[in-house]
Amino acid sequence: MDYNELHRPQFHFSARQNWINDPNGLVYLDGVWHLYFQHNPVACIWGKPFWGHAISTDLIAWQEQEGHALSPDEHGAMFSGSAVVDHDNSAGFGEGALLAFYTAAGGYAIPKRAFTQCLAYSVDGGANWIKYDGNPVLDCIEGGWDTDCNGATCGSIVGAASGARGLNSSLVAPLNDTIRPSVIGFQEVSMSELAERTLKVQQKVAAQAL
């Protein structure tokens, strides 16, 4: 990428071409910062997102990697997510494996389906990602845009806080201090209602993990 282009940002990452959306899966491993980002590879407007990938050693100069880390599949398009380093091999993919938890936007699958939460892992430092065979790891949770998880527009997002301890080989682990699922709704609600919704979601996730 030529960072001397007339309109190229100098201190903010930009893809070589076309639309980019919010950053996802920000993670640091072995001296390298990894930035994954929602990307439409075919147009300069929003479209069914992939996860692009860029790396940096100083958070200023970025090198966009070829191809895409995650691509849309039968579960949907690649929406928001997080990544963690599994230092203790809690998930069974090896010490130091990278784990990415992301929303699969089922409304963009064919046929349409509910939004779910999925897992991918990398055993080569984030260069290549393998989607977990047991996806989705968490079914749609009612709330957000739509309360119908049997349809195609359930819009809740469940993210995992940093830290991979507590994951077991089934990837359905009891909640603990390092993994805290939470829900971000896309409608205006009071703090008390949001707290009540979040508690219900946490109880449901905990029950599914037993």
Write down the catalytic residue from 22, 30, 133, 177: 22
Read off the pLDDT of residues 22-39 as tens digits, 9 standing for 90 and up.
999 999 999 999 999 999
Residue 94 resides in a domain: yes
Give me the domain span that covers residue 149. Answer: 20-209
Phi-psi region of 96 (alpha: psi -120 to 50; beta: other; left: phi over 0): left
Cα–Cα distance measured from residue 12 to residue 60, given in angstroms and rounded to the nearest whole number: 7
Residue 186 resides in a domain: yes
Residue 125 resides in a domain: yes
Read off the pLDDT of residues 69-122 as tens digits, 9 standing for 90 and up.
999 999 999 999 999 999 999 999 999 999 999 999 999 999 999 999 999 999
Residue 3 resides in a domain: no
- Residue 75, domain CATH: 2.115.10.20
Instruction: Clarify whether 139 is annotated catalytic.
Output: no
Residue 200 is predicted with a pLDDT of 72
Which pTM does this prediction carry? 0.69
Residue 50 is predicted with a pLDDT of 97
Average pLDDT of the residues of the chain: 77
Residue 5 resides in a domain: no
Omega of the bond leading into 41 within 30 degrees of 0 (cis) = no
* Paired tokens of 88: 């203790």
CB atoms within 10 A of CB 86: 20
Cα–Cα distance measured from residue 158 to residue 168, given in angstroms and rounded to the nearest whole number: 19
Residue 55 resides in a domain: yes
Task: Give the total number of structural domains in the chain.
Answer: 1
Whether residue 149 has pLDDT greater than 80: no
Read off the pLDDT of residues 46-72 as tens digits, 9 standing for 90 and up.
999 999 999 999 998 899 999 999 999
* Paired tokens of 66: 């070829």
Residue 12 resides in a domain: no
Residue 6 is predicted with a pLDDT of 85
Residue 158 is predicted with a pLDDT of 37
Residue, of 199 and 92, whose pLDDT is higher? 92
């100083």: which residue's tokens?
Answer: 58
Residue 11 is predicted with a pLDDT of 80
Residue 162 resides in a domain: yes
Whether residue 160 has pLDDT greater than 90: no
The 77-86 sheet, strands edge to edge:
77-86, 97-105, 116-122, 130-131
The 50-56 sheet, strands edge to edge:
20-29, 32-39, 50-56, 63-64
